[in-house]
């Protein structure tokens, strides 16, 4: 989730909530134990147990069913002439809105978390209002040279139909998602070539997140990504540990804020 301040509240949604904002809000709603650390996955797990899965999904839908301001980064990506494969862990619809405002075609691909759907994806082809359910191995119809794809690996809100909402947010959700990743059944077949041959630009992600490291390991090992292919990450203050992790994966670190990076590209 991009943006956010400590003053965020559900009644005054001037910006998108950060992970910490969301954890604190869910903790208050579920009467989370005051002496426990408020980590989002743990708080969401407690909420799921104390209030119920349906209650958690309703609360998340209400939070993200809002016209938050579209950041400069999202507008920049939507206006980029090249076709992009954008991989995001955000639940909000800011990228989709940016692409629609720019009148740029895109497909939306979302990992499911509903047990009834099994190991499937939700796929909205460009312009579709209703998603198709499809197994990752069968998603081979997208031509990444023709249009961009927004690939949401931790789920999404569907503001037109809450029944399509998917969220990887609780501890159980992460266990299930990572199990699918380690089985090699999660990444769509149609994206394999792009993950093998394209360079990555990481914006807003750090390798302290072990969940992201699992995803990258799957890409490197299962898809046999060639060694030596360089990528980049934009991070204003990477820790020494993160810098080492990135270096070992062939990723050059540029120490600047995302806003400064976008401004530099726009000037160029």
More confident residue, 260 or 7: 260
Which residue from 211, 96, 199 is spatially nearest to 148, judged by alpha carbons? 96
pLDDT recorded at residue 83: 93
Answer yes or no: is pLDDT of 174 > 60. Answer: yes
Residue 195's pLDDT band, with cuts at 50, 70 and 90, is confident
DSSP assigned state of 214: H
Average pLDDT over residues 198-204: 89
pLDDT recorded at residue 158: 97
Say if CB 42 and CB 53 are below 8 A apart: no
More confident residue, 242 or 224: 242
Say if CB 124 and CB 185 are below 8 A apart: no
Residues forming beta bridges with residue 232, ordered by sequence position: 201, 252
Which residue from 219, 216, 221, 250 is spatially nearest to 233, judged by alpha carbons? 250
Cα torsion angle, 171, 87, 24, 260, sign: positive
Residue 185's pLDDT band, with cuts at 50, 70 and 90, is low
Supply the DSSP string of 127-177, one letter for each residue.
T-SSPEEE-GGG-----TTTSEEEEETTEE--TT-GGG-EE--SHHHHHHH
Residues forming beta bridges with residue 166, ordered by sequence position: 156
Average pLDDT over residues 32-56: 96
> pTM for this one?
0.91
Residue 93's pLDDT band, with cuts at 50, 70 and 90, is very high
Listed in sequence order, the residues at least 6 apart from 156 whose beta carbon sits closer than 8 Å to its beta carbon are 91, 92, 93, 108, 110, 164, 165, 166
Supply the DSSP string of 41-75, one letter for each residue.
HHHHHHHHHHT-HHHHHHHHHHHHSS-PPPPHHHH
Residue 222's pLDDT band, with cuts at 50, 70 and 90, is low
Least confident of 6-10, 31-35, 177-181, 258-262: 6-10
Least confident of 78-82, 228-232, 233-237: 228-232
Mean confidence (pLDDT) of the chain: 88
Euclidean distance between the first and the last CA atom of the chain, given in angstroms as a whole number: 27
More confident residue, 205 or 160: 160
Answer yes or no: is pLDDT of 210 > 80. Answer: no
């Amino acid at each position: 989730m991009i943006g956010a301040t400590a003053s965020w509240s559900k009644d005054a949604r001037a910006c998108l909530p950060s992970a910490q904002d969301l954890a604190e809000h869910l903790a208050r709603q579920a009467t989370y134990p005051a002496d426990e650390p408020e980590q989002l996955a743990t708080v969401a797990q407690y909420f799921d147990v104390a209030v119920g899965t349906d209650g958690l999904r309703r609360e998340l839908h209400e939070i993200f069913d809002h016209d938050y301001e579209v950041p400069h980064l999202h507008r920049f990506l939507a206006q980029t002439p090249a076709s992009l494969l954008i991989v995001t862990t955000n639940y909000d619809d800011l990228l989709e809105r940016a692409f629609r405002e720019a009148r740029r075609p895109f497909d939306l691909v979302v990992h499911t978390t509903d047990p009834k759907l099994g190991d499937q994806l939700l796929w909205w082809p460009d312009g579709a209002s209703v998603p198709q359910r499809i197994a990752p191995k069968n998603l081979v119809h997208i031509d990444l040279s023709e249009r961009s794809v927004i690939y949401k690996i931790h789920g999404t809100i569907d503001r037109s139909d809450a029944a399509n909402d998917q969220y990887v947010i609780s501890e159980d959700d992460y266990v299930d998602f990572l199990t699918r990743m380690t089985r090699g059944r999660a990444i769509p077949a149609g994206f394999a070539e792009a993950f093998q041959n394209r360079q990555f630009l990481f914006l807003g992600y750090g390798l302290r997140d072990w969940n992201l490291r699992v995803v990258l390991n799957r890409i490197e090992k299962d898809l046999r990504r060639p060694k030596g292919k360089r990528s980049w990450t934009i991070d204003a203050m990477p820790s020494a540990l993160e810098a080492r992790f990135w270096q070992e994966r062939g990723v050059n670190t540029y120490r600047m804020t995302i806003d400064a990076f976008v401004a530099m590209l726009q000037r160029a």
